Structure 1
Amino acid sequence: MKIALVSYSTKPRGGVVHTLALAEALAAAGEDVTVWSLGRGGDSGFFRAVAPDVRVRIVPFREGPVDETVGERILRSIATLRDAFDPSPYDVVHAQDCISANAVGRCVRTVHHLDHFTTPELAACHERAIVEPYAHICVSRSVADELAEGWGLAAEVIPNGVAYDRFATTDPAARDAWRARLGRYVLTVGGIEPRKGSLDLLEAYALLRAEHPDVRLVIAGGETLFDYRDYRGRWETRAAELGVEPLVLGQVSDPDLPPLVAAAAAFAFPSAKEGFGLAAMEALAAGVPLVVRDLPVLREVFTPAARFATTPHSLATELATALTTEAPARRAAGQELAAHHTWHTAAQHHLTFYHSLQR
């Protein structure tokens, strides 16, 4: 089967990590897989090397004018990918986000999570990418239920895999190097943006520091298509008001990420909207105590391995408990849960679904 997986970016966002891992697992199963993406910022390849049995097609995407709006950038992204993409060689075209779904025409769509956008062009992109694909996949039952309730659409539920061995067996020297550099820290991965609950985590960190002044908050990642400068400004102002100084690492290289995660004393995942929580599952694979926001989707995915919080105060409380009295049984449950989610299994379920669409 010839399969095209299509993404909007080469950067290490969760949906892009998913796309590459799925492509490699499908290719390992003997399928002919090509990954298409826009190459932003001059990128000619993905943030990491891709297995040689996966074809990669990067469509150059030039920087726009300095006054380009988010909406204009969305429309230009769609048009650029549409002009380059030819669906005719493929048995299955599988879009992983709203930009690629708008660009490629008839497709299968993975709805990782549902958003509510105020930018008109982005809201329209989001809506079309839900209603126009002929088949849908969700990475959790909770998101599939949202899709059914809001749009009357039935989606196949195929959970994410996780690169378990990569995070569970990190190099001890590399892990210890992060600890020597950063000390004792709570880590979050995903950048500073509204969906990631960054302001709530900042408030929680200030409360946590009152009892654990030696603990740092470390933030990794954050590459995004959207412009969160206003939110980032509010976050920086609030940090100054609270008298805290989180360490913002930005994008971390792919080889450095597993030891950075493994070296953390706890992992915070206070997202207000998620589809699965791949970064949090990677933390469980590394044996790191996990505290997440109490959302139905995160209850679905992470019970019984995570601690759950609803407010900055409860987030601080649960992080403090994770730092001081995390039970070995909970860590073991987390690693067992992460080991259960394999990309091989995810790929096999995708193939079964693809074949069902050919009948």
Structure 2
Amino acid sequence: MKIALLSYSTKPRGGVVHTLALAEALAAAGEDVTVWSLGRGGDSGFFRPVDPSVRVRIVPFPDGPPGESVGARVLRSIETLGAAFAATGAGAYDIVHAQDCISANAVGRCVRTVHHIDHFTTPELAACHERALVEPYAHVCVSRTVADELADGWSLPARVIANGVAYERFAGTEPAARDRWKNRLGRYVLTVGGIEPRKGSLDLLEAYGTLRARHPGVKLVIAGGETLFDYRDYRARWEARAAELGVEPVVLGAVPDDELPALVAAADAFAFPSVKEGFGLAAMEALAAGVPLVVRDLPVLREVFDSAARFAGTPEELAAELGRALTEPDPARRAAGRELAARHTWREAARLHVELYRSLAGVRGAV
């Protein structure tokens, strides 16, 4: 089959990581795959090299006018990607599979992966989000919890196909690479995803204030954070609260892709306090690396991680569970985490996607 996978960004976000890994696994299975994306900020390629078996089409997306709103930027993103795809790609594929709201709006009727369901108040974003759910003719969700939310709220059925994880990449890091991070940072709790509301960053900061009083030598390290949205106000509140608490987390920003596995593997614990998730790929990578994991007590994270993680609701509980993760070795939980991560392969995810694609051959809307 000729398959187009579409993403809104070339930056290292969970949905983009998913898109590239799925594309490479599909190509390894013998499918003809092209990944389309917008090239923001002058990007001409993705944040990491892509296997040459996958074609890559980057659509230039120049910066907008000063003061451009998020809503206007989203609409311009949809228009830019949609025009390029319509001009050269729309009729060339058996399956067009959008991985996010922007690309789903850009191509219209398609297969859509719903990683998680957002709730926007900005009118443009709310309308785009709604269209990106109801217009696709088939849906994939990366967890049963999100599929149930889609069914309950929109009466839309979805095929559940879990994320894979690059197990060997995170489980087999070089000791010297881990030591470099240890020598630089000492003991640390790591979170990946940046500082933003959905990631529960303020709650984690509060938890760290409590944790640091009990474990003064432990740092909080925050990696990642590339986003389409403007979280400057939230970031300002976060920085003000850090000053009030007298703590100085280490904010790394985007970490080069080849350095990320060692950063994860060298952590003493991994915090994942998101208030909204569809699967938790970064947390699954931490399990692959054998790092103790503490996650927000959400139904979706209970579904995905079960006994492999520690769960916490409030900042106080998060601090307590992180403290236990730092001081109470749990070999059985660690082994369960590695086993869970090893079961989630991109090869199996690709096989299930191919099965879905072939079942859609006669569905109206498929080419």
User: Normalization by structure 2: what TM-score?
Assistant: 0.97
**1:245 aligns to what?**
248
User: Structure 1 residue 210: deviation in Å?
Assistant: 0.8
Q: What secondary structure is seen at the aligned counterpart in 2 of 1:233? A: helix
Match for residue 314 of structure 1 among 314, 317, 321? 317
- Which ranges of structure 2 fall in alignment gaps of 5 or more residues? 363-367
Paired with 2:297 and 2:90, the residues of 1 have a C-alpha distance of: 41
Within 2, Cα distance between the matches of 1:334 and 1:169?
15
Matches of 2:184 and 2:231, distance apart in 1: 29
Amino acid at match of 2:51: A
Instruction: Give the 3-state SS of the residue equivalent to 2:307 in structure 1.
Output: coil
Instruction: State the distance in 2 between where 1:41 and 1:182 align.
Output: 30
Q: 2:365 corresponds to which residue?
A: none
SS at match of 1:106: coil
- Return the match for 2:357 from 341, 354, 357: 354
Once residues 261 and 308 of structure 2 are traced to their aligned partners in structure 1, the CA distance between those partners, rounded to angstroms, is: 19
Aligned pair partner of 2:296 in 281, 293, 303: 293
Identify the residue that residue 223 of structure 1 maps to in structure 2. 226
Partner of 2:3: 3
**Pairing 1:270-289 to 2, within 5 Å after superposition:** 270-289=273-292
| Paired AA for residue 143 in structure 1 | V
Offset at 1:120?
1.1
Distance (Å, rounded) in 2 between the aligned partners of 1:308 and 1:263: 21
Aligned partner of 1:154 in structure 2 is 157
1:186 aligns with 2:189: yes
CA distance in 1, matches of 2:345, 2:237: 39
Q: Distance between the aligned counterparts of 1:174 and 1:121, measured in 2? A: 45
1:326, CA displacement in angstroms? 2.7
User: Moved runs in structure 1, 4+ residues, more than 3 A?
Assistant: none
d(CA) in 2 for partners of 1:121 and 1:163?
36
Aligned amino acid, residue 43 of structure 2: D
Unmatched runs of 5 consecutive residues or more in structure 1: none
Aligned to 1:37: 37
**In structure 2, C-alpha distance between the alignment counterparts of 1:170 and 1:2, rounded to whole Å:** 35
- CA–CA distance in structure 1, aligned partners of residues 122 and 329 of structure 2: 42
Q: Look up the match of 2:269.
A: 266
Instruction: Return the TM-score normalized by structure 1.
Output: 1.00
Q: Does 1:333 align with 2:336?
A: yes
Once the two structures are TM-superposed, the CA of residue 233 in structure 1 deviates from its matched residue by 0.4
Distance in 2 between residues matched to 1:64 and 1:165, nearest whole Å: 40
Deviation at 1:6, TM superposition (A): 0.1
Deviations 1:102-148 (A, max 9, x none): 00122000000001111111111111000000000000000000000
Task: Tell me by how many angstroms 1:66 deviates.
Answer: 1.6
SS at match of 2:80: helix
The code of the aligned residue for 1:3 comes to I
> By how many angstroms is 1:65 displaced?
1.2
What is residue 77 of structure 1 aligned with on the other side? 77
CA RMSD across the alignment: 0.5
Q: Distance in 1 between matches of 2:254 and 2:107?
A: 29
1:26: which partner in 2? 26
